[in-house]
Structure 1
Amino acid sequence: MNRSEIEQAVLREMHSLPLDKVEATLNFVLSLKNKPVKKRPLGLLKGKVEFAIDENFKMTDEEFLQS
């Protein structure tokens, strides 16, 4: 779905809701504008965990799927 299709779908659904639910929905949408986006840090284990794969490591797809 693109933005326009989503907006139209939301409006169609809003028309079937009672007024108190429409108001609650509006309040929720407005609260989304004020909430900072929580970004998930990448490399959460960086510096805590290490691993190494040997240069001549080989594994077939079948071996991988059976492990």
Structure 2
Amino acid sequence: MKIQLIGKVIASLEPNTLDILIGAEQGLLDGGHIRRVNNQMLPSHLRIPNTKLWIYIENSEIVKTEAFEQK
């Protein structure tokens, strides 16, 4: 089952990685969840800190990311 959540990019001090805050302020995920990912997983225009993006999760793994647009 694929789940779609809003995420926000947070800078990481580890080389070639980014921290993403997933699901903050959404339902029971009020504090969100931070996930460290390889920066190659995100297109270059989405790697800027505080950028909002859609995150698609399947079997507890991030399978896709895309630019956030209000629907």
Structure whose CA Rg is larger: 1
Return the TM-score normalized by structure 2.
0.17
Return the TM-score normalized by structure 1.
0.18
The answer to which structure has the higher helix fraction is 1
Bigger relative contact order, structure 1 or 2 (CA pairs below 8 A, ≥6 apart): 2
